[in-house]
Amino acid sequence: ARNVGAGAGARVVDDRDPRPDFSRANFDNRHALAAGANADIWRGLGGGFVFRYYSGYPINETVGSDVNGDGDNTDRPIAGVHDLTQPILSALDSSGRAIRNGIQGEDRLLLDGRFQYIFRFSRYQAGMFLELYNLTNRVNFGDPTGNRNSRNFMVPITAGEPRTMQIGLRLTF
C-alpha cells in the first residue's frame, strides 16, 4: 500500500508537490502468511499448530532535526549533505533525498501449538489444555528507530515475547 506522509507527526516535505512523499505506507506489511492445522488424535486428545510469518513494516530514515524549518523533525537525509559521516540506508529519489519508509523493517516468525484432552460425561464436558506460544523461541525484534541522530539508529532494542505456555481447565455444562 502506498500513501502520502500519513501517520503521527508526518508531513510532506513540500506542500506544493507531495509526489516525493508518495511511497510505502507506515503499516505496509508486504508479505504475510498464516496457516493452521488441528487434529483429533485419539479419543478426546487433540492438537493443533498455527504458523505465522510477517515481512515487517517499513522504517522511515530521518535526520532527527528540523533542517528545512517547517516545524517538524521528520526531515529525510539528502545525499551529499547528510551522508558525510554515515551512509544513507534508504533508496534515494531523483533529487538525492532518502525515500519515505525506504528501509525494510524486522520480520516476524511465530509457531504456536495447542494440545487438549476432553472428557465427556453425560451432558457435561471437561477439558484440559496446554498452549505453547513461540515454540521455536525465535527472537522477533521490534523495528529500530530510523532517526539518524539517535544512539540506537537501526539498532533493535525491543523484542517480542519468548517461548511461553499456559495450562488451563474448562468445564462446559
Question: Rounded to an integer, what distance in angstroms lies between the CA atom of residue 15 and that of residue 72?
Answer: 13
Question: Rounded to an integer, what distance in angstroms lies between the CA atom of residue 96 and that of residue 154?
Answer: 21
Question: Rounded to an integer, what distance in angstroms lies between the CA atom of residue 6 and that of residue 22?
Answer: 10
Question: Rounded to an integer, what distance in angstroms lies between the CA atom of residue 105 and that of residue 156?
Answer: 10
Question: Rounded to an integer, what distance in angstroms lies between the CA atom of residue 99 and that of residue 81?
Answer: 15
Query: Is the pTM for the entire model greater than 0.85?
Result: no
92-129, pLDDT tens digit by residue? Answer: 988 888 988 999 999 999 999 999 999 988 889 999 99
40-66, pLDDT tens digit by residue? Answer: 999 889 999 999 999 989 999 999 888
Sign of the Cα torsion 7, 58, 76, 64 reads positive
Question: Rounded to an integer, what distance in angstroms lies between the CA atom of residue 85 and that of residue 91?
Answer: 17
